[in-house]
Chains A and B, each alone.
Chain A
Amino acid sequence: MDWYASGSIIAVGALVAASAGMVGCFLVLRRLALLGDAISHAVLPGIALAFLLTGSRGTLVMVLGAGALGLLTTFLVQSLQRAGVQEDAGIGVSFTALFAIGVVLVSLFAGKVDLDLDCVLYGEIAYTPWDTLVVGGVNLGPESLWIMGGIFLLNTVVISAFYKELKICAFDPAMAAAVGINVALVHYLLMGLVSVTTVGAFESVGAILVVAMMIVPAATAYLLTERLGVMLVLAAAQGVVSAVLGYFVARYFDSSIAAAMTTVSGALFALAFLFAPRTGVVARALAHRGLRRAGGELRA
Chain B
Amino acid sequence: MDLSWLSIADANTRWVLTGASLLGLSSGVLGSFALLRRRSLMGDALAHAALPGVCIAYLLTGTKHLGLFLVGAALAGLLGTMAISAITRYSKIKEDSALGLVLTVFFGIGIMLLTVIQRQPGGNQSGLDKFLFGQAAALVGSDVQMMTAIAAGLCLAVFLLFKEFKLLAFDPGFGAGLGLPMGVLDLLLNLAILLAVVIGLQSVGVVLMAAMLITPAIAARYWTDRLGMMTVLAGLFGAASGALGTLLSQLGPRMPTGPLIVLAATLVFLVSLFFAPRRGLVARLIRFLRLKQQVARESALRAVYELAEGAGDPGAVISLEELRRRRGIAGAGALAALARAGALAPAAPGPDGAPAGWRLTPSGLAEAHQLVREQRLWEVFLMHEGELGGQAAVDRDGARVPDVLRSELERLLRLHGLEPALTAQVARKEGA
Contact = CB atoms under 8 A, between A and B. Distances in A.
A209 B94 contact: no
Nearest to B267: A97
Contacts of B41: 34, 88, 91-92
B273 interface: yes
A89 interface: yes
A203 interface: no
Interface in B230-272: 252, 254-256, 258-260, 262-263, 266, 269
Contacts of A265: 105, 108
A262 B115 CA distance: 14
A104 B108 contact: no
B108 A92 contact: no
A100 B281 CA distance: 24
Interface stretch (A25-33, A62-70, A153-161, A164-172): A25-33
B87 interface: yes
A208 interface: yes
A20 B119 CA distance: 29
A84 B222 CA distance: 10
Given A36-B100, A107-B256, A86 B92 contact: no
Contacts of B260: 100, 104
B107 A212 contact: yes
B101 interface: yes
Contact of A256 (B101, B103, B112, B256): B112
A215 B100 contact: yes
Interface residues of B, number: 57
A47 to B, nearest CB: 15
B363 interface: no
B100 A33 contact: yes
B105 A34 contact: no
Interface string A215-238: 110110011000000000000000
Given A212-B105, A216-B104, A223-B91, A259 B115 contact: yes
Q: Which of A37, A258, A260 has the most CB of B within 10 A?
A: A37
A57 interface: no
Contacts of B199: none
A113 interface: no
Interface in A63-85: 83-85
Interface stretch (B70-78, B206-214, B365-373, B402-410): B206-214
A85 B218 CA distance: 8
A249 B405 CA distance: 78
A259 B99 CA distance: 18
A59 interface: no
A244 B155 CA distance: 48
Contact of B44 (A33, A85, A92): A92
Contact of A88 (B38, B103, B258, B281): B38
Q: Which of B41, B213, B263 has the most CB of A within 10 A?
A: B41
Contacts of B101: 33, 212, 215-216, 219, 266, 269
A31 B218 contact: no
Interface of A: 27-28, 31-34, 36-37, 41, 83-86, 88-89, 91-93, 96-97, 99-101, 103-104, 107-108, 110, 117, 121-122, 208-209, 211-212, 215-216, 218-219, 222-223, 250, 253-256, 258-263, 265-266, 269, 273, 279, 281, 284
Given A103-B208, A103-B256, A266-B101, 8 more contacts: A92-B213, A100-B211, A110-B254, A215-B97, A253-B112, A258-B111, A261-B108, A281-B91
